[in-house]
């Protein structure tokens, strides 16, 4: 999305309590070396839980066992737990000897069986301890990586704030600046940098935004009333099926409503925005109900529809607005949304310009074949077209299909590389599933590609793989044209 240019080397130099019922409690104590645990239970012989109903409407009746049986069971349970992870002062022989409880109807273990069980316990103990050790190692490794990443982000943040942002106009076309985008923009300044890249070529002001906010509220009320009338008309039709005069009147009213709905082109899509709000990054839980973030998302999407009624609201747009809103305030997010969607890279997909869409899909197909020829041919044999999978990736810039951290990183690269970032990310996804996809049919492929959001990609490795995607010079020339193409807005 950026052009290429000048060099400024100086800029790159820094890189129970007592029971309330009054009944006397019973104290069960079990020894564990020097440790003692007490269990206080009510002396009531049985308790009926009649209100505990499950889906099969059965009631549950739980009887409190005899105190001696309960004490024995607790001791057996404790012994079993200690077999898995005994304390340092216990030997495996001491532990396995405790595994002597057997049903009374079974004969005593033979020496061979006893030895076999002892070995089995020891093996399971080792496996358990080894799994704990491996888990601890992974957690330590994760913490180290996280600490290293945070330090790196702090360093990069200082570079951006002190050197790169103040000199943005001088360095934005420099090829060296791209490396900072591939490193990942620090979250503290990501929104500012995205705004620098996207710009405000429509000179949107706060006054304009507030006017459109007010307009959107009035227009929303209008279309909600029209929708209510339409619903009432349908109910009346059901009640008055045999009354021709009422049907004719209703048909006339229906035609008027339909004309009114069509009068503002796609402006009426403002009433369907609500359907997508809670679907936006659902795992974050930030856009639920009437939360502040959900209200802001509704507002900027409604203002967008009012500002561009020729485009209206298209499903998936909430993800684009949502990721912007997570990185900047709502006014800036609206500016960014307008400049992003009306960019030549994105606009053809939102204005449904089939000629320009096909041009971009064919170009992606060339990149696909150049990097993954066998998979590309397999897709061709199955009649799998880019429209079937790549279209939604392009329209949502992967925000619908990956975790937020990776989506942010892909967007970082997109801000500086434009179309190339979209194509490269798509190739990395396809290469990750290549072996599986080669042995799948059309339906299986669609299911596999749809499961991308279940894969926890390492964002650093993913971005590095994007850098390694091969794009021939002649294709790069065409990509550069797309970034700067003059698409009517």
- Would you kindly state where each structural domain of the chain is located, as residue ranges? 26-134, 206-341, 347-484
Here the tokens at position 154 are 């702090």
> Which fold does the domain 347-484 belong to in CATH?
Cyclin A; domain 1 (1.10.472)
Helix (H, G, I), strand (E, B) or coil at 281: coil
Q: Torsion angle, CA of 263/318/332/219, rounded to 10 degrees?
A: 30
d(CA 329, CA 333): 6
Helix (H, G, I), strand (E, B) or coil at 48: strand
Average pLDDT over residues 354-382: 94
d(CA 328, CA 336): 9
Of 122-126, 177-181, 462-466, the least confident: 122-126
d(CA 461, CA 358): 31
d(CA 297, CA 302): 9
Quote the pLDDT of residue 247.
Answer: 41
Quote the pLDDT of residue 82.
Answer: 54
Average pLDDT over residues 135-146: 87
Could you tell me which residue, 129 or 45, shows the higher pLDDT? 129
Question: What are the strands, taking DSSP E only, across 233-368?
Answer: none
Average pLDDT over residues 400-419: 94
Quote the pLDDT of residue 483.
Answer: 75
∠172-199-185 over CA atoms, to 5°? 55
Of 228-242, 257-271, 301-315, 340-354, the least confident: 257-271
d(CA 54, CA 33): 41
Percent of the chain with pLDDT over 70: 71
Cβ count near 32 (within 10 Å): 13
Average pLDDT over residues 17-40: 40
Quote the pLDDT of residue 60.
Answer: 39
d(CA 93, CA 116): 13
pLDDT at residue 447 is higher than 70? yes
Of 118-132, 149-163, 473-487, the least confident: 473-487
Here the tokens at position 355 are 């000629």
Helix (H, G, I), strand (E, B) or coil at 49: strand
Helix ranges (DSSP H) in 342-458: 347-350, 354-371, 373-382, 390-396, 404-417, 419-432, 434-437, 442-449
Here the tokens at position 122 are 């020891």
The HSE-up count of residue 257 (CA atoms within 13 Å, CB side) is 19
Q: Give tens-digit pLDDT for 248-304.
A: 444 444 444 444 444 445 778 888 898 899 899 988 889 998 999 999 999 999 999
Name the band, by pLDDT with cuts 50, 70 and 90, for residue 240. Answer: low
Residues 6+ apart with CB under 8 A from 235: none
Name the CATH code of domain 206-341 (choices 3.20.20.140, 1.20.120.420, 1.10.8.270, 3.30.750.24). 1.10.8.270
CB 365, CB 386: distance < 8 Å: yes
CB 151, CB 373: distance < 8 Å: no
pLDDT at residue 456 is higher than 80? yes
Quote the pLDDT of residue 481.
Answer: 83
Quote the pLDDT of residue 21.
Answer: 42
Which is nearest to 29 in space by CA: 71, 85, 73, 91? 71
Quote the pLDDT of residue 55.
Answer: 40
d(CA 122, CA 101): 18
């Amino acid at each position: 999305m950026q052009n290429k240019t000048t060099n400024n080397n100086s800029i790159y130099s820094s890189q129970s309590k007592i029971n309330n019922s009054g009944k006397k409690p019973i104290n069960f104590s079990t020894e564990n070396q020097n440790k003692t645990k007490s269990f206080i239970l009510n002396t009531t012989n049985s308790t009926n839980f009649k209100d505990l109903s499950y889906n099969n409407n059965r009631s549950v009746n739980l009887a409190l066992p005899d105190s001696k049986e309960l004490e024995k069971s607790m001791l057996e349970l404790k012994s079993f737990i200690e077999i898995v992870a005994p304390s340092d002062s216990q030997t495996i022989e001491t532990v396995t000897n405790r595994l002597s409880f057997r049903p009374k109807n079974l004969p005593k273990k033979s020496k061979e069986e006893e030895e076999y069980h002892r070995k089995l316990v020891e093996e399971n103990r080792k496996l358990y301890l080894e799994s704990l050790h491996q888990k601890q190692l992974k957690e330590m490794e994760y913490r180290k990586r996280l600490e290293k990443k945070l330090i790196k982000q702090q360093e990069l943040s200082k570079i951006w704030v002190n050197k790169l942002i103040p000199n943005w106009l001088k360095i934005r076309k420099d090829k060296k600046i791209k490396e900072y985008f591939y490193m990942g923009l620090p979250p503290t300044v990501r929104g500012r940098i995205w705004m620098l890249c996207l710009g405000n070529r429509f000179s949107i002001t706060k006054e304009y935004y507030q006017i459109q906010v007010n307009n959107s509220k009035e227009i929303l009320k209008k279309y909600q009333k029209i929708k209510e009338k339409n619903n009432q008309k349908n109910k009346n039709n059901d009640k008055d099926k045999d009354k021709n005069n009422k049907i004719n009147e209703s048909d006339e009213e229906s035609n008027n409503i339909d004309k009114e709905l069509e009068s503002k082109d796609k402006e009426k899509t403002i009433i369907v925005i609500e359907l997508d709000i809670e679907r936006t990054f659902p795992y974050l839980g930030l856009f639920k109900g009437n939360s502040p973030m959900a209200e802001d998302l509704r507002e900027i999407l409604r203002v967008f529809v009012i500002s561009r009624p020729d485009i209206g609201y298209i499903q998936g747009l909430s993800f684009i607005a949502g990721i912007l809103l997570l990185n900047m305030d709502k006014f800036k997010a609206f500016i960014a949304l307008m400049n992003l969607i009306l960019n030549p890279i994105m606009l053809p997909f939102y204005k449904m310009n089939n000629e320009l869409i096909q041009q971009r899909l064919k170009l992606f197909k060339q990149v696909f074949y150049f990097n993954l020829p066998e998979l590309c041919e397999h897709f061709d044999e199955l009649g799998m077209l880019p429209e079937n999978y790549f279209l939604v990736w392009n329209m949502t810039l992967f925000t619908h299909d990956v975790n937020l951290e990776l989506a942010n990183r892909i967007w970082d690269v997109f801000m500086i590389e434009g179309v190339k970032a979209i194509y490269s990310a798509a190739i990395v996804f396809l290469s990750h599933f290549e072996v599986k996809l080669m042995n799948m049919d059309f339906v299986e492929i669609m299911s596999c590609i749809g499961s991308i959001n279940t894969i926890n990609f390492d964002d650093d490795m993913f971005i590095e793989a994007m850098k390694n995607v091969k794009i021939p010079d002649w294709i790069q020339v065409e990509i550069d044209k797309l970034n700067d193409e003059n698409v009517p807005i």
